[in-house]
Amino acid sequence: MFEHRYGIKLKKTTADATALKLLRQCFPTQSFSELRAKIQANDYVFLSDMEKYQHDGVRQMAKLLREFDKAGIETELFEESRYTPNPWRAEPMSREYLKNILQRDREITRQVLEDIERETVGYISPDAKKDIDKEISKIQK
């Protein structure tokens, strides 16, 4: 079976208070010592497969990345894949690639919502268009 995921690592392996506080907000069930150990081992602080659905993981990853950027914490992005049970193969990923993934996800979501509207009503009303635009703007945040 083919598996695919995206991840974030911190460039620095020193676990400062800002990074720990940010990670704790995102992962309240993990202890500070667990989070510190991940940072010090230069392990992933986030993997997209932590979420139930891939697109939710990518959105969560983008939110976390924005928070790291605001805090001035440097990060590295990776894309991993494997054919089970083989080990994961990691490759660096650019921010532009992540932006493209997010854009593609928004376009697919918009298309699905429009298709549902066309199939159920037969056309896209102005009110439905506003609702679809509102839903897409929520995703974009």
Quick: pLDDT tens for 90-132: 999 999 999 999 999 889 989 999 998 888 888 888 888 888 8
| Partner residues linked to 75 by β-bridges | 10
pTM: 0.80
Please answer whether residues 80 and 89 qualify as being in contact, where contact means their C-beta atoms are separated by less than 8 angstroms: yes
pLDDT of residue 53: 65
Average pLDDT in the 35-42 region?
94
Name the packing angle between helices 95-121 and 54-71 (round to 10°). Answer: 140
Quick: pLDDT tens for 115-126: 988 888 888 888
pLDDT of residue 23: 92
Name the packing angle between helices 95-121 and 126-140 (round to 10°). Answer: 160
Task: Indicate if the pLDDT at residue 73 is higher than 90.
Answer: yes
Please answer whether residues 103 and 54 qualify as being in contact, where contact means their C-beta atoms are separated by less than 8 angstroms: no
Average pLDDT in the 53-58 region?
76
Quick: pLDDT tens for 7-25: 999 999 888 899 999 999 8
The mean of the pLDDT values for the chain is 89
